[in-house]
Amino acid sequence: MQISTRLQMEKDKVTFFQTYNRLPILIDKAEGNLIWDKDGSCYHDFLAGIAVNALGYSHPRILDAIEKQSHRYLHVSNYFYQDAQLNFAVKLKEISGYDRVFLANSGTEANEGAIKLCRKWGFEHNKTEIIAFSGGFHGRTYGVLSLMDKPKYKENMGPWLDNMTIIPFNDSKELEKTISEKTAGVILEFIQGEGGINEVSSEFIETLNKLKEQYNFLIIADEVQAGAGRTGKFFGFQHQDVTPDIVTMAKGVGGGLPLGAILAKEYLSPIWSKGTHGTTYGGNALACATGLVVLEELENGLMEKVHKNGIYFKERLNELQKLFPDQILEVRGRGFMLGLLLNFEASNLVQDMLKNCNVITNATSGNVLRIVPPLIIDLEEIDLFVESLKSCLSKQK
């Protein structure tokens, strides 16, 4: 490592709150799914800015959209009609099948809005409780933290919101015991990301649908990580027989710029009248311009490609699991939202993959290696990842 790189890293450490575990790379530039550091090393990216960069880096259509929109205007606020917002939202409605859109900046903001919408609907129906699930991740703001149970995110920062109940994920019996006339909504990731790439079971969905019939509550799908084509369908929940009332998105849908969205069915539209919810930056024109490119690319074959390549990727990982059954306990996920349950700390493997193979990956939930590459990667990149993993695991044996 060059001295200048080391110095910058040291400066970083005394400048910022030390809330992040950074990988020891000082980024210079990125293109496609490759990242170069200031020391000239090149890395293969299987993290995509934490499931964000759907089209990779420096995608020509993204750059073009930024160029064009930035010459028109960057931000004018939601006091104005804007075609950049409208074009994005109309396309989002078309692809998603939802009727109403609220634009935000991030996943946590989209989820906060969804909770507010749900609570306000609940107020009209005399229902206040929102139910969430253990291992779920919905963001870092107070409302959603009240719906999460991981101690690290919450310790000594309470008190938390009332009428928020967290129950075990995929536990139908517990769901039956907990849902009542008081339930306004249930929020869940149909494939948990930070929680370790855990899929909801069809049996659990069946119970959820049955209880919804019985008690009339809203289902909120947190599609911040799984949405925008990452699992090979536009939404992660589309792998199941379920129709959420509210869907939240962020991450991939902005193509690298901060963009979030709340989608809802028409019957929820009157719940929010003028002034009941808002944001200064949400629906920023530049982010909407790049978001539109993401949606168009997904529609024009990218989502199909993720579906096909995702099957190949999982097959190759399953082969690897058979070779290393003591180290890899399970292969999880769909499309390009994959995880390996390991019998050791995944962060060790992340470091090995980085140092020995120049492959960027991620550890979540302690012993899960999370694989969320840009959606544009091809079979060669998948093979490279699998071979790198193989060589790291062989050295550990």
Ligand X SMILES: Cc1ncc(COP(=O)(O)O)c(C=O)c1O
Residue 222 as a binder of ligand X (CB under 6 A): the answer is yes
Interaction between residue 225 and ligand X (CB under 6 A): yes
CB of 11 to ligand X, least distance (A): 25
Whose CB is nearest to ligand X? 107
Q: From residue 280, how far is each of 92, 102, 105, 255 by CA, in Å?
A: 21, 12, 9, 20
Give the other-Cβ count within 10 Å of 384's Cβ.
Answer: 16
Q: How far apart are the first and last CA of the chain?
A: 29
Single residue of 85, 106, 238, 240 touching ligand X by CB under 6 A: 106
Stretch that binds ligand X, among 40-48, 72-80, 106-114, 364-372 (CB under 6 A): 106-114
232 in Cβ contact with 306 (< 8 Å): yes
Cβ at position 41, least distance to ligand X in Å: 27
Cα–Cα nearest to 254, from 392, 361, 105, 391? 105
Task: Identify which range of 156-164, 203-211, 219-227, 307-315 contacts ligand X by CB under 6 A.
Answer: 219-227
Shorter beta-carbon distance to ligand X: residue 49 or 167: 49
309: left (phi over 0), alpha (psi -120 to 50) or beta: alpha
Q: Which of 53, 82, 85, 108: binder of ligand X (CB under 6 A)?
A: 108
DSSP strand pairing (183-188 vs 129-133): parallel
| 107 is an interface residue for ligand X by CB under 6 A | yes
Q: Residue 160 or residue 267: which is nearer to ligand X going by CB? A: 160
CA angle (257 as vertex; 200, 106 as ends), nearest 5: 45
Task: Give me the 139-158 binding string for ligand X, x by CB under 6 A, dash otherwise.
Answer: x-------------------
Ordered strands of the 260-264 beta sheet: 100-104, 260-264, 246-249, 218-222, 183-188, 129-133, 164-167
The rounded distance, in Å, linking the Cα atoms of 270 and 261 is 18
The interface region with ligand X, picked from 3-11, 23-31, 131-139, 161-169 by CB under 6 A, is: 131-139
Identify the residue whose tokens are 């536009």. Answer: 234
Judged by CB under 6 A, the number of residues near ligand X is: 14
Nearest to 45 by CA among 391, 394, 388, 395: 388
| Residue in 246, 164, 175, 247 with CA at minimum distance from that of residue 211 | 175
- For residues 127 and 23, give the distance between their C-alpha atoms in angstroms, rounded to a whole number: 45
185 versus 193: smaller Cβ distance to ligand X: 193
Query: In terms of Cα–Cα distance, which of 121, 98, 150 is closest to 364?
Result: 150
**Residue 189 interacting with ligand X (CB under 6 A):** yes
Residue written as tokens 């699998």?
386
Scanning the structure block, which residue is given the tokens 């180290």?
327
Name which of 137 and 385 has its Cβ closer to ligand X: 137
Segment interacting with ligand X (CB under 6 A) among 15-23, 135-143, 205-213, 347-355: 135-143
**101 vs 389, beta carbon nearer ligand X:** 101
Segment interacting with ligand X (CB under 6 A) among 161-169, 178-186, 220-228, 316-324: 220-228
> Does 137 help bind ligand X (rule: CB under 6 A)?
yes
Stretch that binds ligand X, among 79-87, 186-194, 196-204, 262-270 (CB under 6 A): 186-194
The interface with ligand X within residues 251-290 (CB under 6 A) comprises none
Residues found near ligand X in the complex (CB under 6 A): 106-108, 111, 137-139, 189, 193-194, 222, 224-225, 250
